Amino acid sequence: MVDIENLTLRQILSNDDTTKLSLGSEVYTPLKIFLKKSALDFHQYEIAKTYVLVNQVSSSSSRIWGYITLMNSEVVLNEGQRPQESASTSRYEAFPAVKIARLAIDKALQGNGFGTKMLDWCINHVKLAIMPHVGCRFIVVDAKRDSVSFYEKSGFVLLDTEANRSDDHPLMFFDLYKSNS
Ligand SMILES: CC(C)(COP(=O)(O)OP(=O)(O)OC[C@H]1O[C@@H](n2cnc3c(N)ncnc32)[C@H](O)[C@@H]1OP(=O)(O)O)[C@@H](O)C(=O)NCCC(=O)NCCS
């Protein structure tokens, strides 16, 4: 049983139980393997930071009910989708971004708003912890085809190229500056 009331999001710890996450389809096995084998190393060695959804009152090794992994990145945009606020900004093709490298919610919790809450948290976290200190205009994700509409509901848009629209993992981005104005 999931104790929904007491779930909290925090950075991954070395004694977390990374083995129990269940995503319901073999298609998502790479997301389980990343959590089990690589997330902590990437976290400790400053490659990508993983935040896990755990029961905050659990005393022993925490069972993970979802996770999101973030890293620095950049996004190359079409002329029509580049920031147009000034001539100086629109001259560039590549813009600074934070990438959602992984996102998963346990099957037992899917469809209850936790994925959306994790996206909201990510957007606010980048706005507070990164944007005021280091240039960062976008959040990007290589979405799974099935999850495009999930990201669209939170304001992400598809990179508007034919190749991207037909890609199995189309690139999507969220404009942090525009969402503030
Ligand atoms: C995709 C995922 C993170 C969404 O998390 P979630 O907690 O189930 O999503 P939410 O409950 O916040 O759903 C928000 C909305 O998106 C919709 N949605 C959720 N998952 C969706 C999907 N895979 N495809 C289309 N729509 C989806 C929901 O129906 C809901 O719509 P509504 O507000 O109109 O009811 C989760 O289902 C998951 O981990 N899936 C397996 C792994 C995966 O696909 N990860 C994404 C990698 S890019």
- In the sheet with 171-175, reading across from the earlier edge strand, the strands are 7-11, 49-55, 66-76, 94-105, 138-142, 171-175, 157-158
Task: Note the pLDDT of residue 59.
Answer: 67
Helix (H, G, I), strand (E, B) or coil at 86: coil
Q: What digits encode the pLDDT tens for the residues 52-62?
A: 999 987 667 89
Coil vs helix vs strand at 41: helix
Q: What is the pLDDT of residue 91?
A: 86
Q: What is the DSSP letter of 55?
A: E
**Which residue's CA is the nearest one to ligand 1's atom 8?**
110
User: How many residues comprise the chain?
Assistant: 181
- Tell which one of 122, 150, 174 to mutate to probe ligand 1, the residue whose CB is within 8 A of the most ligand atoms: 150
**Does residue 171 surpass a pLDDT of 90?**
yes
Beta strands at 7-11 and 66-76: parallel, antiparallel or unpaired: unpaired
Q: Is residue 104 within 6 Å of ligand 1 at its C-beta?
A: yes
Q: Of 103, 125, 90, which is closest to residue 30 (Cα–Cα)?
A: 103
pLDDT value of position 48: 98
Check if 53 has its Cβ closer than 6 Å to any atom of ligand 1.
no
Atom 1, ligand 1: residue with shortest CA distance:
147
Q: Name the residue at shortest CA distance from atom 48 of ligand 1.
A: 143
Using only the alpha carbons of the chain, give its radius of gyration.
Answer: 17
What is the spatial distance between Cα 178 and Cα 121, in angstroms, rounded to a whole number? Answer: 17
* 150 pLDDT higher than 70: yes
Q: Which atom of ligand 1 is nearest to the CA of 143?
A: 48
Tell me the C-alpha to C-alpha distance, in Å, between residue 73 and each of 91, 95, 113: 19, 9, 27
Q: What is the pLDDT of residue 131?
A: 96
Contact 130, 136 (CB under 8 A): yes
| DSSP characters over 120-136 | HHHHHHHHHHTTTTS--
Burial class (CB in 10 A: 0-12, 13-18, 19+), 27: exposed
Q: What is the mean pLDDT of residues 159-169?
A: 95
Report the C-alpha gap between 111 and 161 in whole angstroms.
30
Closest C-alpha to ligand 1, atom 29:
111
Diameter over CA atoms, the chain: 55
Domains defined along the chain, listed by start: 4-180 (3.40.630.30)
Residue 168 in contact with ligand 1 by CB distance below 6 A: no
Q: Whose CA is nearest to atom 15 of ligand 1?
A: 150
The model carries a pTM of 0.95
